[in-house]
Amino acid sequence: MKIMVIGAGVIGSYLCHVLCENGHEVIVLARGVRKEELEKKGLVLRHYLQHKRTVDYPRVTGRLDREEAFDAVFAVMQYQQMKEILPDLAGCLCPLVVLVGNNMEAPQMEEYIRRHSPMPKKIVFAFQPTGGRRESGEVICVRFGIAHLSCGFLHSMPDEETKAVLARIFTGKYQPAYVPDMDGWYKSHLAFILPICYICYTLDCDLTKIRGKQLGLVMDAAGEGYAMLAALGCPVLPEGSEKAFAPGWKRRVSFLMLWVMSKTPLGRLAASDHCKNAVGEMEVLDAAFGKLREECPGFSMQAWDWLRSEFPGWEELRRELQ
């Protein structure tokens, strides 16, 4: 199959690797220094936990040609950057568009693509749980086992036709994990990652400094976020996620796992590197979650508010991390 991937950061690069490994004709859209790196060295991934290095050679381009047809287009961008490429996604000659990454405006993006597209399109929203950073023209990628793609329609599972296309795309161990409501999934994911983001910034993006009390507050805040979403009638997904932060053995196991990650390079690769390199995305996601909270006035989120008040603020963060 002929597949375009827009974006060659950590997540987009690993997705490209999977698609190349599955034997597809892969075209990756990248610009600037990243485009030059891919053209000179190929797509180089260092798989941190698997202790291996892979090199793939997808076709590299600096723009999406609206006259060229594709079987699928995957857009793998930071949330605020996705808006900039909506005209290209709407105008491309492709029956399947997959938007990969955090997204708090999924309904609006879907509506835009449908309204401006010259042909019918299936629009899938997705998230790939990989982390890492770019370094010297290579991507250091951290993943636990074979990664997967959590994906679905806005408020339903993909139909059988779309599942059949995705089955043709992902023919190896990397597989789609279908979600019944990706809009709810995105909001639930934000309830989990924003408290981690706040503590990362408080600790100068060095999670090894975290103390037990601070990690406990992160877990309390995530639990508050899930509870607020439930109060709004939003599905908490994956189902049962909130149990990892409620009192009991599941919370103790989650605490131990997060503690070990924070004290090892995994915490940097899986969390703080992204926080450091995506301040703009975290700022707009924080604002979007704040708007959700306005729909539930009076809902108490004491741990959440304490964590958010401790970091220096977005403008100062940008100055410090430049």
pLDDT tens figures, 278-321: 999 999 999 999 999 999 998 999 999 999 999 888 888 888 77
Summarize pLDDT for 74-116 with one digit per residue, the tens: 999 999 999 999 999 999 999 999 999 999 999 999 999 999 9
- Of 86, 278, 302, the C-alpha closest to 193 is 278
Predicted local confidence at residue 265, as pLDDT? 92
The neighbouring-strand residues paired with 301 are: none
Res 159 pLDDT > 90: yes
Q: Which pLDDT belongs to residue 316? A: 86
Mean of the per-residue pLDDT values of the chain: 95
**Nearest Cα to 117, choosing from 54, 192, 66?**
66
Which percentage of the chain shows pLDDT scores above 70?
100
Residue 15, H or E segment: helix 10-21
Angle between helices 106-116 and 182-202 (to 10 degrees): 130
pLDDT class of 144 with cuts at 50, 70, 90: confident
* Block residue for tokens 């990628």: 141
Does the pLDDT value for residue 51 go beyond 70?
Answer: yes
pTM: 0.95
Q: E-strand spans in the chain?
A: 2-6, 25-29, 43-47, 52-56, 59-61, 72-76, 96-100, 122-127, 131-135, 138-142, 149-152, 176-178
Q: How far apart are CA 321 and CA 276, in angstroms?
A: 7
